[in-house]
Amino acid sequence: MPLEQFVPFIPEIFLAIASFVLLVGGIGLGRRGMRPLALGAVGSLVVTGILVWLFGRPAGEPEVILGGMLAIDTFAVFFKLLVLASAILTIMLATGFLERFRYGGGEFFALILTATLGMFVMASGVNLVSLYVGLELMALSSYVLVGYCKLEVKSNEGAVKYFVLGAMSSGILLYGISLVYGSLGTLDLMEIKTALVAAPQDNLVLMLGIVLMAFGMLFKVAAVPFHVWSPDAYEGAPTPVTAFISVAPKAAAFAMFLRIFAGAFSPEIDHWRSVIWLAAAMTMIFGNIAALSQDNVKRMLAYSSIAHAGYALMGVVAGTAYGTWSVLMYMLVYTFMNIGAFGLVVLLETRGYAGETVKDWAGLSKKAPAAAAGMLILLLALAGIPPTGGFMSKLYVFAAAINAGYIWLAVIGVLMSAVSLYYYFRIVVQMYLVEGEEAESGAELVRDRWAEGVVLVSVLVVMAIGVYPAPFVGWAQGGLNALGLM
């Protein structure tokens, strides 16, 4: 194997080394070293981003490296940069949070970096084995991150549920992979596609394999009915981790989803599409309706994240090039709006671990007008109201579904976004409309410059995409130049 093949792999190598350095450094520095370690982690992620830009981009046509394990294409670059952005924002959110709750930072940052490495492989893998390895690296890091606040019962509970169900879903996925391998004799996505194009099949073993793989992937994106782990894991996890696992692994899982289903399995689309259709519809309906009755804001946002996976799945159902870039666009906006919203939860978290209720937001517009305005914009974006990025991203998935002829799915989607308004606006009501004693009873904001910066960046990105989406759409469409995709 010529050494040049490793050049596009430099960012991943750097990321692995950086995570070890942070891990060891964390032992040496202890809790005092929180800020330097955080700066080191952010710095190495920024360097990774630069390395991706320098070495990880395809020179022209997409290429494969390392014996067909990884692809170097714009699709991978898009998701890698997105995942890097969410990792950086998460570390900035977590630093102050860990200080307040008196936990060390070394392992935390190292785990974020290893999870990021796993997601890099998920974004660029073109072989079921490399994809699975990336997925597991990401998942194992996330399990530990969810249980990071080891003295909190909820954190432990969330981690255990996440781990047990996550391991089970990985098993289902792996079983599906083995059935696909058994019937086609290859794990390479391109070869799978070629084989299916050459001889369209409806043998039962292959179908079962594809469906089991779909189940496994639906687990990972927390689609209904495979979502039961996510509200508990999201609520129990330290809030910065919730922000992280609600966006980055979801984005990476969608990347993998698209590579496998919109790519390799695209010749069999008529067989798997109805499964995804049903999952998308149920996810949108159940996620939004379950969120209606939540008083705990973290849990509410957890159900809202479930619902958002449903919207994004519409793009997968469409199964067109159009649907694919609409998913990319959706993940881009979703990442920033969700991290921003959880960032404000972090800032408001002054009443003990995971105890924030809707009432804690009371009177925020008086106490902290800028924070309230930021939350308002993020909630409008989550609800999909113009002129925010959330509206633009929803628009594209709806348009993709309608173009592919799935009008009723789009109808369910828009009706459910109207439902979602109700619960998002429960927070707005508390922030802006309640008065008097009720308004006084709200929680106080923490002073945390880094977390405030995260919220500001998220709000700016979400608004920029809403007001002038053209360049962002251009990037998402650019991400279509991918290996194995239709």
Is the CB of 59 or the CB of 470 nearer to other proteins? Answer: 470
Could you give the string, one character per residue 394-413, with x where binding to other proteins holds by CB under 8 A and - elsewhere? -x--xx--xx---x--xx--
DSSP letters, 29-69, are: HGGGGHHHHHHHHHHHHHHHHHHHHHHSS-SSS-EEETTTT
User: Which residues from 221-240 bind other proteins, rule CB under 8 A?
Assistant: none
Closest CA to 132 of 196, 77, 187: 187
Is the Cβ of residue 399 or residue 464 nearer to other proteins in the bound state? 399
Regarding 477 and contact with other proteins (CB under 8 A), the answer is yes
SS3 state at 307: helix
Structure tokens belonging to residue 205? 């073993």
Q: How far is the CB of 432 from other proteins (least distance, A)?
A: 6
Q: Which of 310, 337, 369 is nearest to 247 (CA)?
A: 337
Q: Distance (Å, rounded) from C-alpha 31 to C-alpha 27? A: 9
**Residue 446: strand, helix, or coil:** coil
Q: What is the dihedral of CA 73, 465, 94, 115, to 10 degrees?
A: -20
Number of residues that bind other proteins (CB under 8 A): 31
Vertex 63, ends 400 and 309: CA angle to 5°? 30
Q: Which of 39, 429, 440, 441 binds other proteins (CB under 8 A)?
A: 429
CA-closest candidate to residue 284, choices 420, 395, 421: 420
3-state SS string for 329-392 = HHHHHHHHHHHHHHHHHHHHCCCCCCCCEHHHHCCHHHHCHHHHHHHHHHHHHHHCCCCCHHHH
In angstroms, what is the minimal distance from the CB of 300 to other proteins? 16
Token readout for 22 is 């942070």
- If binding is defined by CB under 8 A, does position 473 make contact with other proteins? yes
User: Closest separation between CB of residue 414 and other proteins, Å?
Assistant: 4
Cα torsion 396, 400, 403, 404 to 10°: value is -170
What part of residues 368-397 is at the interface with other proteins (CB under 8 A)? 380, 385-387, 391-392, 395
Closer to other proteins by CB, 211 or 421: give it: 421
Q: Does residue 425 belong to the site contacting other proteins (CB under 8 A)? A: yes
Is 434 among the residues that bind other proteins (CB under 8 A)? yes
Burial of residue 182 (number of CB atoms within 10 Å: 0-12, 13-18, 19+):
exposed
Q: How far is the CB of 429 from other proteins (least distance, A)?
A: 6
Mention every residue, 6+ apart, whose C-beta is less than 8 A from residue 32: none
Smallest separation (angstroms) from other proteins to the CB of 312: 17
Q: Is 54 in the site for other proteins (CB under 8 A)?
A: no
In the complex, least distance from residue 36 CB atom to other proteins, rounded to whole angstroms: 37
Choose, by CB under 8 A, the member of 287, 469, 479, 484 that binds other proteins. 469
Question: Which residues within the stretch 294-323 sit at the binding site for other proteins (CB under 8 A)?
Answer: none
Residue 46 or 418 having the CB closest to other proteins: 418
Please, which of residues 264-283 interact with other proteins by CB under 8 A? none
Distance CA 310, CA 302 (A): 13
Assess 186 for contact with other proteins (CB under 8 A).
no
| By CB under 8 A, residue 481 contacts other proteins | no
Shortest approach of other proteins to residue 327 CB, angstroms? 15
Residues that bind other proteins (CB under 8 A): 380, 385-387, 391-392, 395, 398-399, 402-403, 407, 410-411, 414-415, 417-418, 421-422, 425, 429, 432-434, 468-470, 473-474, 477
